[in-house]
């Protein structure tokens, strides 16, 4: 499941796992309202474009070690969800290293990461774990329903928080799958209750690191086919780590 960290580099220190306490009636009611709004948004979902910032926190040095920005695209293609991320600024750990752009595409049961320098595509065949990957795309809150969330996660309501001008509903998710928990122990989503989509996401690993994803300029629209194609060259080298 290492490749999950490639496709989901979106998501303080230490474990902030949801507590095993009975939810308040008011919280359960608010959670139901938010998830129903997500159901409604999912039923009409076709495509979404958003700008993002991905912050990666490293517990061992107790600071955000990497910051990446760019644009992300989602669309529903038949029964499948497709994603393309254009990482316009790939932050480097050392200030002396020049950040280089990269592109991450998920479709047709594959994750492909293209780096223009050194003109290389790394291809991961995830067809055997396609459901797990689509679960993570659902977690992003673009195209996923509340029913989808409850199917793959134990979901609790964590109150309301202001995020980028939106009074967002904070949802705490714990993966039901042990295999998935080995990658991300807990995920927090901040959902715009009016639109039923995510405006922020935080993913915690078992070792205390986390990824924080902030979305802005969110547009719900039809995304053209050309977006979901890597702009490689005739000299692009292809790597397949898992064969």
Strands 197-204 and 186-192: antiparallel
pLDDT tens digit string along 9-65?
A: 433 222 333 333 445 656 788 999 999 998 888 888 888 899 998 887 676 666 556
| Look-up of token digits 């799958």 | 177
* Continuous H helices in the chain: 4-7, 25-43, 130-139, 146-152, 178-181
- Confidence at residue 3, expressed as pLDDT on a 0 to 100 scale: 47
Helix or strand (DSSP H, E) at 238: strand 237-239
What's the pTM? Answer: 0.77
- The pLDDT, as a whole number, for residue 59 is 66
Arithmetic mean of pLDDT over the chain: 79
Q: Give CATH superfamily name and number for 34-239.
A: Lipoprotein localisation LolA/LolB/LppX (2.50.20.10)
SS3 166: strand
pLDDT of 90 strictly over 90: no
* Residue 91: predicted pLDDT: 54
Check residue 2 and give its pLDDT: 44
Contact between 207 and 227 under an 8 Å Cβ cutoff? The reply is no
Instruction: Check: CB of residue 174 under 8 Å from CB of residue 153.
Output: yes
Burial (CB count <10 Å: 0-12, 13-18, 19+), residue 178: exposed
pLDDT at 212 over 50: yes
pLDDT band with cut points at 50, 70 and 90 for residue 86: very high
In this prediction, residue 98 has a pLDDT band, given cuts at 50, 70 and 90, of: low
């Amino acid at each position: 499941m290492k490749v999950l960290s490639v496709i989901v580099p979106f998501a303080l220190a230490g474990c902030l796992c949801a507590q095993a306490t009975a939810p308040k009636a008011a919280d359960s009611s608010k959670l139901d309202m938010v998830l129903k709004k997500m159901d409604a948004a999912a039923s009409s979902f076709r495509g979404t474009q958003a700008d993002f910032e991905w912050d990666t926190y490293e517990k061992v040095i107790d600071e955000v070690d990497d910051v990446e920005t760019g644009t992300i695209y989602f669309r529903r293609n038949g029964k499948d969800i497709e994603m393309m991320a254009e990482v316009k600024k790939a932050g480097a750990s050392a200030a002396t290293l020049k950040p280089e752009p990269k592109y991450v595409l998920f479709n047709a049961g594959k994750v492909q990461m293209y780096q223009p320098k050194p003109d290389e595509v790394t291809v991961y065949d995830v067809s055997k774990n396609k459901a797990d990957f689509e679960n993570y795309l659902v977690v992003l809150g673009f195209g996923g329903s509340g029913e989808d969330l409850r199917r793959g996660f134990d979901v609790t309501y964590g109150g309301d928080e202001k995020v980028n001008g939106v009074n967002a509903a904070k949802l705490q998710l714990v993966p039901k799958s042990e295999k998935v928990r080995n990658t991300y122990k807990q995920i927090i989503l901040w959902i715009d209750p009016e639109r039923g989509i995510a405006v922020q996401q935080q993913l915690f690993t078992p070792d205390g690191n986390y990824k924080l994803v902030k979305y802005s300029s969110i547009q719900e629209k039809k995304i053209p086919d050309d977006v979901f194609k890597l702009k490689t060259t005739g000299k692009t080298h292809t790597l397949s780590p898992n064969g």
